[in-house]
Chains A and B, each alone.
Chain A
Amino acid sequence: MTTNPARVLVVDDDPLTRRFVGALLRQKGHEVHEAIDGEDALRAVHTLQPRLVILDLVMPMKDGYEVLEALKADPATKRIPVLILSMRSREEDVVKGLNLGAEDYVTKPFNAQELMVRIGKILERTW
């Protein structure tokens, strides 16, 4: 299943995760941008208007939930799908994320192949 190349923003304060997820996305032909914290992420979303945001939760400045809320509250960005990729795995965290408007929630450690499939599906759905 191939998807049209999309612009994706990867938000995570861990550089390794950013590089890894970025490499996986580039492998599929997508254009990858990175943001290192909450504020950086919001700026980047407004400038880049990505087709998908991969969002970590625990970050300095603003945390993932705050970013998600901000994105969904702003009409310019609320249609952009967000996939949460976080170490937080408790039910409350997942439910909160999905309730705030995330398309999907993947916990770390994650299965890379599975993550790509999920991303593919989101991109297809929101195309």
Chain B
Amino acid sequence: MTYSDRELLVMVIIGIVSVLSALTLLIILNKAWREAREAMDRRRRATLEPDVFRYAGASDTRALREYLDLPLSSRDERIVEAILLDVAGLVKGESRERITTACETLGLVAAAVTGLKSRRWWKRAGSAEKLGMMRSKQSVDALVAAMDDPMGEVRIRAARALGLIRGRTSVRPIVKALSDPNRWSAIRLAEILIGAGEESVDELLEAYDGLPKPARVSALDVIGRVRTPRAAALLRRALKDPLPDVRARAAHAMGLIADPTFVEDLSICLGDEVWAVRAMAAKALGRIGAPQSVPRLAGLMSDREWWVRSNAGDALRALGVPGREALIKTLEEPDAYARHQAVAQLEEGGIIDEYVSDLGSGDPARREAAIQFVRKVISAQRIDRLSHQAVEHTQDSVRRTLLKILKPEPQGGSS
């Protein structure tokens, strides 16, 4: 390429250099301005903070205004709001209510409600977030409206704010939102509902039948994690739902609630055709801790699905002495997977270590029992832990005995 006009080139270079300089200047100015502003804010905050703190910790009826003597500029208001919201994150109970009152009387709630109508989405989202921290019932209506906002960030923050404010009126729109899978993340809504506690449960119980399937699954999750016994009837019904996902979640929820009356229903689920349901039922039974489930759980150790076996093993470990005995019996099962699972469980429960220590016991009966146990573990062909103990155990007698048993004998089997 040849140019007849060299000046063009020079202009281009000058152009680029100016753009670069402008960019650099922009960065520098931005940084300087920001730092100056932050420094000013910090100083102002240091003066205002102690008053706000004292207000939050006091028990009298004086409003915050009376603690702060000077008239508040708009910058001061912004700072006071920041301080209030910071403290709001630290406190609960009476202190928290005082913060809510302060936000209301200073007009901060009203300002945030207005902010919900801003044209810029981040201002709307920020306002929703602030309202969640202020927790004023005055903002409920505006927040419910904000749940229809086109921007996801705004919606979710409005929902969270409602969840924090609580009360059934707040919870209702959140439960309703569960039915709309495209606009809402079920997990985050469930989170919010769990945070709202018992009120969610009431609402969910009422709305359950009208919910679509994925929402039902979330609803069951919430019910389980809020751990309310009131939903027993609903859970039992859900346990027989035609959809396996729902059944599995219902079983899981029952486990979280850990009500012993669920044992019967869950035991039936242990024979469900879908493995996820069996696995969840096993897990739940382990959580409930009912010894009568032990035989069936032991049977599940030979299930063809890994997760079912694993959960059954965990459950047995949690079921005390009968569970432990079932695991020991499983050491002699024909199914290799079941044996391995049993050894892992016994080890994690510290039971192998217990018996190994018994090898050095003064009581011959205990020693003998320990030897029998160790032999069983060896025949299950998982001897990592035993080998480790044979070298590392603190007691000499234990190590010697263990080594003797582990050494390959004419018929004894260690791999």
Contact = CB atoms under 8 A, between A and B. Distances in A.
A and B touch in the complex (CB under 8 A): yes
A79 interface: no
Contact of B86 (A16, A27, A108): A16
Interface of B: 49-50, 53-54, 56-59, 86-87, 89-96
Contacts of B59: 113
Contacts, number: 54
A24 B57 contact: yes
A78 interface: no
Contact of A27 (B49, B54, B90): B54
A31 B229 CA distance: 48
Nearest to A28: B57
20 contacts: A16-B90, A19-B49, A20-B90, A23-B53, A23-B57, A24-B53, A24-B54, A24-B57, A27-B58, A109-B90, A109-B92, A110-B91, A110-B93, A110-B95, A111-B93, A111-B94, A111-B96, A113-B93, A113-B94, A113-B95
Contacts of B94: 111-114
A48 B92 CA distance: 31
Which residue, of A16, A17, A26, has the highest number of chain B Cβ atoms within 10 A? A16
Pairs A-B, 9 closest by C-beta atoms: A111-B93, A23-B53, A112-B95, A112-B57, A109-B92, A24-B57, A23-B50, A113-B94, A27-B54
B396 to A, nearest CB: 32
Contacts of A24: 53-54, 57
Contact of A112 (B50, B56, B86, B89): B56
- Name the prevailing secondary structure of the A interface residues: helix
A17 B90 contact: yes
Contact of B57 (A16, A19, A27): A27
A20 B87 contact: yes
A109 B56 CA distance: 13
Contacts of A73: none
Contacts of B86: 16
A61 interface: no
A70 interface: no
A95 interface: no
A70 B312 CA distance: 42
